[in-house]
Structure 1
Amino acid sequence: MAPRHIAILGGGLTGLSSAFHLSRRFPSSTITIIEKQKRLGGWAANTERVQLPGGRGSVIIEGGPRTLRPSANSVLELIHLLGLSDSVVTTPKSSPAAKNRFLHVPGTPGIYKIPGVSLSYLWSELRFFITPGVSFEFVRGWNRPQGVLDESMESFMTRRGHPVTARVLGSAMVHGIYAADARLLSVRAAFPKLWELEEKGKGRILWGLLTRSKQEKEAEKQKEEEDRKRYEMGDVPKLVDGAAVYSFRDGMGTLAEALSRSVSKNPNIRILSGTEVSALQFDDENGFEITTDKTNPIQPSHVVSALSLPALNKIIPDAHPLPYLTTNPSSSVTAINLVFPTDKIYPPGFGYLVCRPEDDYAADDAGILGVTFDSTAHDALTPGGERVTKVTVMMGGPHRAPDTSLPVVLAHLQYHLNRRKPLPEPLAVRVWQHRNCIPTPLPGHLERMGKLREALSEGVWGGRLEVIGAGVRGVSVGDCVESGKMVGMEW
């Protein structure tokens, strides 16, 4: 029997995806989206077109995610169903943005190209950081302690490789994805493939990767093909075939805006934006009762929470607590968009990450996690014909108090890029503050989420409340959209 009334708490990308897919699965059900902010879409909607001075035209800047990977079938499905195919722009695998990624090591001016998965690391400028980890990984056998079911990313890389490799490469990778401390992040939750490769290679990750048989590769390919049948993607996969990443002509906000328009036009979906939920209680007759700061109590039969787990913890009844909602910390990130009046700022590439300083996160360090070279991935030629360069500086995370003032940021960029002369004055600057925007799953996260699901399926909850979002599974756009697609499968 279809749910009578579904309330969705949170109108970010996860909540919008939930409403979109639930309305297709249960076309007769009433759906109410309750969103604290006036604007739907959350972090993914932070796209702006900025007019540049002096008649230089305009550029798109992003305050949230910049690109998507073709492997996320759930996003390709939305592109097809929402009619966004003509908006897709791709970055081919042959482009500098796909081939060239860099790393800055604090204390050393300049950025260094990260070598690919080959022996090229032996003559890379980063070889002194990479070689110890690779060497120990090859000679060490199985060394996972008995009974260990999870560990931090840095602990894993140190155990399998070397502390220097773990600090430099491991921390940089975690900065780029989770804006977190690699010494805290669960390797199984964030990078499950590494855990699987270690088991397959009997300890040796590289051996597990290099010894994949033809049968295993064919089985993986067949599984991928079978999995794709669950999605209505039309010809969209052909659009991104051969692409390293892709986006939209008018920025990533295109996806969030299209989803917002789609659900807004659906007569069965009611949107309560600018409305905050203060309590989620049980109602013996109707199922649930939701109290907000703007409306009369809402009485749905089923609820989807796309809120952060700590936010959900604040509104559930004290008599019926749920486990592990406040276990994981979250990172706050400041994104700074800079548009320069020149095309000679950085080498061609995707951008660079910054690893953890050797003396740990200090109060007076730069606080920069990474910098994306936005103009390399997409043409930044303005209508007036003058070349400009866009970069985005990501700051914060484990750096507790980064100095985001423009002179300080420009000075650090100059040092990172090893420029003799100061950077030119930016034509445009946009600062985005994202508080507690990326959860950090701690070791044991997968087991804890399993116990949370068990608690939701039992007792008064009875499977009528589903908890989804970045705090439960992955933090990427694809993960969030996938969570929305899969919600309510048991209803």
Structure 2
Amino acid sequence: MAPKHIAILGGGLTGLSSAFHLSRRFPSSTITIIEKSKTLGGWASNTERVQLPGGRGSVVLEGGPHTVRPASNSVLELVNLLGLSDAVIATPKTSPAAKNRFLHVPGTPGIYEIPRPSLSYLWAPLRFFITPGLSFELIRGWNRPKDVLDESLESFMTRRGHPVTARVLGSALVHGIYASDSRLLSVRAAFPKLWELEEKGNGRILWGLLTRSKKEKEAEKEKEEEDRKRYKLGNVLKLMDGVSVYSFRDGMGTLAEELTRSITKNPNIRVLSNTEITALRFDEENGFEIATQRTNPVHPSHIVSALPLPALNKIIPDTHPLPYLTTNPYNSVTAINIVFPTAKIYPRGFGYLVCRPEGDYAADDAGILGVTFDSESLSAQDNLAPGERITKVTVMLGGPHRAPDTALPVVLAHLQYHLNRRKPLPEPLVTRTWQQRNCIPTPLPGHLERMEKLKEALSGGGWDGRMEVIGAGVRGVSIGDCVESGKTVGMAW
């Protein structure tokens, strides 16, 4: 029997995706979205088009995710179902933005190109940081202790390779995806393929990767094709041929806007925005009671929580506790968009990440995690006057740097040092600062097992499978993870 009334707690991208897919699966059910902010979409809605001074035209500035990889079928499905194909802009795999990525090592001016597997590796400066890890990984056999069921990425890379490689490459990678500390992040939750390859290669990751048989590759391809049948992709796949990443002409906020527009047109969906939930109680007659600070209580039969796990922990009743909602820490991120009145000030590429300094996090590099070269990969978003040239970058700060220095002169000085420029950078035309508090969770080792126990608790103990907990704190932090969570929620109802 279809749920009578579904309440969705949280109107970010996960909550919107949940409402969209649940309304299609249960067209007769009432759905109520409750969101404490005035707008829906969460971090993905932080997009705006800004007019440049002097009649130079306009640019898109974003404080959230900039691009999506075409491997996410759930997002491609939304592009198809929402009719967004004409709004897509793509970065080809052949472009410098797809092929060239860089890394800054604190204490050394400039940025290093991350080498690809070719002869150029022999004279790449980063080889001094990479080679120790590769060398030890190739000669070491199985060395995972029997009692280790999970560990941090840094522990994993050090055990298999070398601590220098783990610090430089591992920390930079985690900065770019999770804005977190690689010494804390669960390798199995964040990078499960590494764990699988270690087992397949009897310890050696590279051996596990290189020894995949033709039959295994064909089986993987068949599985991907079979999985793709679950999605209504239309002709969108053709758009993704040869694409590295993609976005939309007016930014990633387009996805949140179109989802919101589709949802609000549905007469069975009610949206309570600017509404904070104060308590979640059990109601013997109706199922649940959700109290808010500005509306009458909501009485759903089923609930989808897309809230951060600590926020959910604050509202559940003491009589029906749920485990592990406060185990994982959350990180805050500051994004600063900067538009310069000049041609490109950086080498052609996607951008660069900053690795953890030796020792521990300090005030080094103003707390910068990485910089994206938006003019290189997303120039199609900008409507510039004829002959006008600009450079647009986004600087990401914070995460494990608990007190980043976001003052613009400080950020510009560090950016100049990173790019190894003798002269100061030109005065920006436009800047925009976005503060995202506690926006990205860090799944600690053991996360997968803890989430299984949380799922077990929700299946009984009075919850009886009528509430599902999803979102970045449970599954993954990418746009694809969030949208996929919304697509698959409530399958057992």
Q: Give the secondary-structure state (helix, strand or coil) at the position aligned to 1:291.
A: strand
> Given the superposition, is the C-alpha separation of residues 377 and 262 from structure 1 closer, same or farther in structure 2, using an over 3 Å criterion?
same
Quick one: distance in 2 between partners of 1:198 and 1:179?
A: 25
Residue 342 of structure 1 aligns with an amino acid whose one-letter code is T
CA contact (8 A) 1:335 1:431 kept: yes
Partner of 2:473: 471
Root-mean-square deviation over aligned CA pairs:
0.9
1:375 aligns with 2:375: yes
Task: Write the deviation string for residues 81-130 of structure 1: whole angstroms up to 9, x where unpaired.
Answer: 00001001100000000000000000000000001245643321101100
CA drift at 1:364: 5.4
Partner of 1:173: 173
Quick one: distance in 1 between partners of 2:180 and 2:277?
A: 29
Quick one: distance in 2 between partners of 1:121 and 1:321?
A: 54
CA drift at 1:360: 1.3
Q: How does 1:82-93 map to 2 (within 5 A)?
A: 82-93=82-93
CA contact (8 A) 2:178 2:442 kept: yes
Quick one: distance in 2 between partners of 1:271 and 1:435?
A: 24
Partner of 1:457: 459
Larger mean Cα displacement after TM superposition, 116-125 or 174-183:
116-125
Partner of 1:415: 417
> Given the superposition, is the C-alpha separation of residues 119 and 191 from structure 1 closer, same or farther in structure 2, using an over 3 Å criterion?
farther
CA contact (8 A) 2:153 2:186 kept: yes
CA contact (8 A) 1:328 1:441 kept: yes
Partner of 1:222: 222
CA contact (8 A) 2:468 2:490 kept: yes
Q: Give the secondary-structure state (helix, strand or coil) at the position aligned to 2:384.
A: coil
Partner of 2:81: 81
Q: Give the secondary-structure state (helix, strand or coil) at the position aligned to 1:173.
A: helix
Residue 467 of structure 1 aligns with an amino acid whose one-letter code is V
Q: Give the secondary-structure state (helix, strand or coil) at the position aligned to 2:392.
A: strand
CA contact (8 A) 1:104 1:355 kept: yes
Quick one: distance in 2 between partners of 1:385 and 1:300?
A: 57
CA contact (8 A) 2:58 2:383 kept: no
Tell me the TM-score normalised to structure 1 length. 0.99
How many corresponding residue pairs?
A: 491
Q: How does 1:57-72 map to 2 (within 5 A)?
A: 57-72=57-72
Q: Give the secondary-structure state (helix, strand or coil) at the position aligned to 1:307.
A: coil
Partner of 2:392: 390
CA drift at 1:359: 2.5
Quick one: distance in 2 between partners of 1:405 and 1:250?
A: 28
Quick one: distance in 2 between partners of 1:61 and 1:185?
A: 30
Quick one: distance in 2 between partners of 1:338 and 1:29?
A: 46
Partner of 1:443: 445
Quick one: distance in 1 between partners of 2:16 and 2:310?
A: 20
Percent of counterpart pairs with the same letter? 82
CA contact (8 A) 1:74 1:481 kept: yes
Partner of 2:210: 210
Residue 413 of structure 2 aligns with an amino acid whose one-letter code is A
Quick one: distance in 2 between partners of 1:168 and 1:122?
A: 18
Residue 314 of structure 2 aligns with an amino acid whose one-letter code is K
CA contact (8 A) 2:106 2:364 kept: no
Q: How does 1:109-188 map to 2 (within 5 A)?
A: 109-118=109-118, 120-188=120-188
Quick one: distance in 1 between partners of 2:290 and 2:466?
A: 14
Larger mean Cα displacement after TM superposition, 46-55 or 118-127:
118-127
Q: Give the secondary-structure state (helix, strand or coil) at the position aligned to 2:54.
A: coil
Quick one: distance in 1 between partners of 2:411 and 2:70?
A: 33
Quick one: distance in 1 between partners of 2:123 and 2:481?
A: 37
Tell me the TM-score normalised to structure 2 length. 0.99
CA drift at 1:258: 0.2
CA contact (8 A) 1:363 1:400 kept: no
Quick one: distance in 1 between partners of 2:240 and 2:45?
A: 22
Instruction: List alignment gaps of at least 5 residues for structure 1.
Output: none
